[in-house]
Amino acid sequence: MKVLTKMTLLACLLTTSLASADDRHPALDSKFYVSVGGFFTSRTFNASAAGSTTPSGPSLNVDFDSDLNVDDSPQLAIAEFRWQFAEKWNLGLQYFSSTRDAEHTLEGTIEWGGVTYEVGAAVAAESSVDITRVVVSHHFRQKDGHDFRLAAGLHWLDVSARIEGEATLDDGSTAFAASKASASLPIPNVGALYQYSPSQKWLLSARVDWFSADIDDYSGGIWNANLSANYQVAKHVGVGLGYQFFQIDGTLSEDRWKGDLKVRIFGPTFQVSGFW
């Protein structure tokens, strides 16, 4: 929540400090908008799959970053697409993916998916998150360089986590074992988008999507927010800098995953965009 508050304050400062102009950034009036770029992230991945970590206590999530030494600063690709299919209606898509793995000697006992890995065990771990955002938005105001929209859609979440290595069996013996949990589910969301073009060259944007409820196999909340500034370098081409924040915190009850899931991905982005 602190990150979202800072992003909102920054958006307000940017939009109030720049004078309005008659010219608008062409992306506001384009039928199609496409951008691709890099996402320089920080990430946390905490989860349980009928398991726990000790000696901290029972029923705790496994922290894949600290407990298993999985890299918490991956560099990702990010892509977005928008299509204005009617006068006041837009379809938007966003996609980014994070898969990290590591090998590690355990400093504490971990139970994952019904398998116990003791202190000193050599294990390999992997965590993966794929997020696809699909929304339909409606223009409520578009005048003098200002553009405000409300949106509804869903985030399609694919998530998996795997640990394999020297496991302790019920009889006290050890053997190689692999345990994996995965889930694939849609999470609906509502959101808002505000864009401001102080001149033909500049477009400032702030977007937030949110949802919190019990839906089928998922119970919890989701946040997805973005701040960005785009500069037009050619007739149909722009470059942009931004800041992306994504968080999911909930409980899964699928056959392939029963347990908690807490993921946060955030960091600056750089994107090249096209609009026509």
Chunked mean pLDDT (size 10), the chain, 276 residues? 51 44 82 94 86 46 87 81 95 92 90 86 92 94 88 94 88 86 91 95 97 86 96 96 95 86 94 97
- The pTM (predicted TM-score) of the whole model is 0.82
Query: Alpha-carbon distance 174 to 118, whole Å?
Result: 10
Q: Phi/psi at 249 (nearest 5 deg)? A: -145, 105
- The pLDDT value recorded for residue 191 is 96
Q: Which domain holds residue 244?
A: 2-275
- The pLDDT value recorded for residue 2 is 56
- The pLDDT value recorded for residue 199 is 94
- The pLDDT value recorded for residue 93 is 96
Residue 40, Ramachandran bin (φ over 0: left; ψ between -120 and 50: alpha; else beta): beta
Amino acid residing at 134:
V
Query: Alpha-carbon distance 191 to 9, whole Å?
Result: 18
Query: Alpha-carbon distance 235 to 151, whole Å?
Result: 28
Task: Tally the domains of the chain.
Answer: 1
- The pLDDT value recorded for residue 173 is 82
For residue 55, cis peptide bond before it (omega within 30 degrees of 0)? yes
- The pLDDT value recorded for residue 142 is 77
- The pLDDT value recorded for residue 14 is 46
- The pLDDT value recorded for residue 7 is 52
**Token pair for 46:** 């905490």
Query: Alpha-carbon distance 144 to 105, whole Å?
Result: 60
Tell me how long the chain is.
Answer: 276
Percentages of the chain per state (helix, strand, coil), in multiples of 5: 5, 70, 25
pLDDT in tens, 214-271: 877 889 999 999 999 999 999 999 999 999 999 999 998 888 888 899 999 999 999 9
**109-112/75-86 β-pairing:** unpaired
CATH number at residue 120: 2.40.128.90
